[in-house]
Chains A and B, each alone.
Chain A
Amino acid sequence: EAGVAQSPRYKIIEKRQSVAFWCNPISGHATLYWYQQILGQGPKLLIQFQNNGVVDDSQLPKDRFSAERLKGVDSTLKIQPAKLEDSAVYLCASSSPLRPDTGELFFGEGSRLTVL
């Protein structure tokens, strides 16, 4: 079974530039998440999709971050304009309908962003 695919793996940009990350979840997984992981910290949820609808985006900095999941499959996360503090690994994860007794998210390898 193919895992969660993300691209690009690495991206270096200057502050105020824009960047976009792409994620393809595991086939059949209805729920998709974007997490931000800053060095030395745990992953922080940015946005959760159920099919192509947003379930939770309360921690997404909407003045600069946007995300979409057209057709309920692939998703893109965009940052515009980027700030130095956006340097992090952006992890995409997917799950089948999340049951309280599983708690298993399948993460992609992440997209590492460096903002100079």
Chain B
Amino acid sequence: RKEVEQDPGPFNVPEGATVAFNCTYSNSASQSFFWYRQDCRKEPKLLMSVYSSGNEDGRFTAQLNRASQYISLLIRDSKLSDSATYLCVALRRALTFGSGTRLQVQP
């Protein structure tokens, strides 16, 4: 079983839509969680941290449920520029990445 699992998608949504990505992790010893964004043929970049209390950054909201070992990312009012792969990441000794969920926002 992979340590971090995500639905690979792709998610095809129209501009302005709200889209949610989910992720599960298997190692309860993981300390912290993050979402990274990776554009096509580019390197991953940190999008935001994930907390049990929730974390909101503009149109992006991330949530952690430690009891269910479940992480989510909500994107409101999708923009064309949000098209990318979103990587769910868990930190234990080093960052462990999921396979990513691809989002395509269409005009």
A positions within 8 Å CB-CB of B: 33, 35, 40-45, 48, 55-56, 91, 98, 100-105, 107-110
Q: Can you sample 27 A-B contacts with CB below 8 Å?
A: A40-B99, A41-B99, A42-B100, A43-B44, A43-B87, A43-B97, A44-B97, A45-B94, A45-B95, A45-B96, A48-B94, A55-B94, A98-B94, A100-B31, A101-B49, A102-B49, A103-B32, A103-B33, A103-B34, A103-B91, A103-B95, A104-B46, A105-B46, A105-B95, A107-B45, A108-B43, A110-B43
* Smallest Cβ-Cβ distance to B32: which chain A residue: A100
* Contact A100:B98 (CB < 8 A) given known A107-B45, A108-B43, A109-B42: no
* Contact A55:B44 (CB < 8 A) given known A42-B98, A42-B100, A103-B32: no
Interface size on B, as a range, is: 20 to 34
* Smallest Cβ-Cβ distance to A112: which chain B residue: B41
- Per-residue CB proximity of B34-54 to A under 8 Å, as 1/0? 100000001111100100000
B positions within 8 Å CB-CB of A: 4, 8, 31-34, 42-46, 49, 87, 89, 91, 93-100
B98 touches A91 (CB 8 A): no
- B64 → A minimal CB distance (Å): 13
Q: How far is the CA of A42 from the CA of B99 in the complex (A)?
A: 4
